[in-house]
Amino acid sequence: MIGKLTGVIDETGADFAIVDVNGVGYVVQCAARTLSQLPPRGGRVALFVETQMREDAIRLFGFASSEEREWFRLLQSVQGVGAKVALAILSALNVSDLARAVAFEDKAQVGRAQGVGPKLAQRIVAELKDKAAAMSAPLAIAVSVGAKPVGAAGEALSALINLGYGRAEAQMAVAAALANAGEKAPVEALIRTGLKELAR
């Protein structure tokens, strides 16, 4: 099994790159977002790889980060999502946006991907919500903040929403603030840290 490739870009296409590793060219299928981050021909690159073996072929899928690769695997655990659809989703949404969409069951965001209809988008967010939160501490906190906005976290969330931020992004900002400052942080600190997160 190939887990990572480090080499030189030999060629790129609409959905693949050929990575030359010591004279051997590996054809690696990638999401459009990943391809856009690759250097030009001759540039050095390191890709995290998922290897899928079939009776008639060995296919390599390349990713800019191990987190992106984990999402590729996770998406395919949903019935109706194969490699092609998983790559389409990762082309339409970056990892942070995808995690947020799944955590808050935003099927419209997931449905932006080519080949993902409303029913499949609903299935994806429903089946992966708990898994997505488990992959990210801030997401887990955000889900709980969204469910029970009480105490300092609830006040910080309300303040950010009153400042004009959307509920989902405010929840993520407060979640990140809680992860950084601790659950006993005062509301002022949560708001200040939350605003810094939103300004990124």
pLDDT at position 135: 59
Mean pLDDT of the chain: 85
Give tens-digit pLDDT for 85-128.
999 999 999 887 888 788 777 888 899 899 999 999 999 988 88
Strands 58-63 and 24-30: parallel
First to last CA, the chain: 37
Which is more confidently placed, 1 or 11?
11
Any bridge partners for residue 46, and if so which?
Answer: 6
Average pLDDT over residues 16-33: 96
List, in sequence order, every residue forming a beta bridge with 63; answer none if it has no partner.
48
Question: Residue 96 corresponds to which tokens in the numbers above?
Answer: 């942070």
Among 37-41, 95-99, 101-105, 147-151, the range of highest mean pLDDT: 37-41
Q: Mean pLDDT throughout 26-47?
A: 95
| pLDDT surpasses 80 at 144 | no
- Cβ atoms of 60 and 2 closer than 8 Å: yes
Per-residue model confidence (pLDDT) at position 129: 79
pLDDT (0 to 100) of residue 38: 94
Nearest Cα neighbor of 195 from 162, 146, 151 is 162
Would you say 127 and 80 are in contact if contact means Cβ atoms under 8 Å apart?
Answer: no
What's the confidence (pLDDT) of residue 62?
A: 97
Confidence bin at 59 (pLDDT 50/70/90): very high
pLDDT > 80? residue 36: yes
Residue 160 and residue 181 in contact, taking contact as beta carbons nearer than 8 Å: no
Give the domains, in start order, of the chain with CATH numbers: 4-63 (2.40.50.140), 66-135 (1.10.150.20), 139-199 (1.10.8)
Partners of 8 in the β-ladder: 20, 44
Q: Which pLDDT value is given to residue 149?
A: 52
pLDDT band at 164 (very low <50, low <70, confident <90, very high): confident
pTM recorded for the entire structure: 0.69
- DSSP secondary structure letters along the chain: ---EEEEEEEEE-SSEEEEEETTEEEEEEE-HHHHHHSPPTT-EEEEEEEEEE-SS-EEEEEESSHHHHHHHHHHTTSTT--HHHHHHHHHHS-HHHHHHHHHTT-HHHHTTSTT--HHHHHHHHHHHHHHHHHH-HHHHHHHHHHH---HHHHHHHHHHHHTT--HHHHHHHHHHHHHHH-TT--HHHHHHHHHHHHH-
Mean pLDDT computed over 41-47? 95
